[in-house]
Structure 1
Amino acid sequence: MRFARSEDIVPAPESCHAVRATVDEAPACRESGEAKAIVFSLSGHAHFDMRAYMDHFAGRLAD
């Protein structure tokens, strides 16, 4: 959600794993003082997954 709100892009579910790893790595680099370029691949879009996202946030998505 943080990425979608800040970048105005809803990534495909597969790409969300790369986004999450990047979001987790950035503060770790900042805390260690290590300067890094963090690159990730963003592919696809989630337009076909929007109903699932809406159902999830409304508590209607069954496991």
Structure 2
Amino acid sequence: MKRRKLEFSSHTGNLALMRNFVRHFLDGFPLSERDRTLMVLGVDEACTNIIRHAYQLREDQLIALSL
């Protein structure tokens, strides 16, 4: 499977973009819908924690997600 990378600003409005990116990436794997949803949720939680705790809700920081 080819590696993918997404970079986005730490605005919480970009989390939907990130979730769609992860869902699309996971389409290439034989996963159940439940497992796919849990993986997307886990990545969403990690990115949310970065925004909330590492960047203290600043919206001008970069998040780089590599899959």
Q: TM-score range by the shorter chain?
A: 0.3 to 0.5
- Which TM-score applies when normalising by structure 2? 0.33
Structure having greater relative contact order (Cα 8 Å, sep ≥ 6): 2
Q: Mark the structure with the bigger radius of gyration.
A: 1
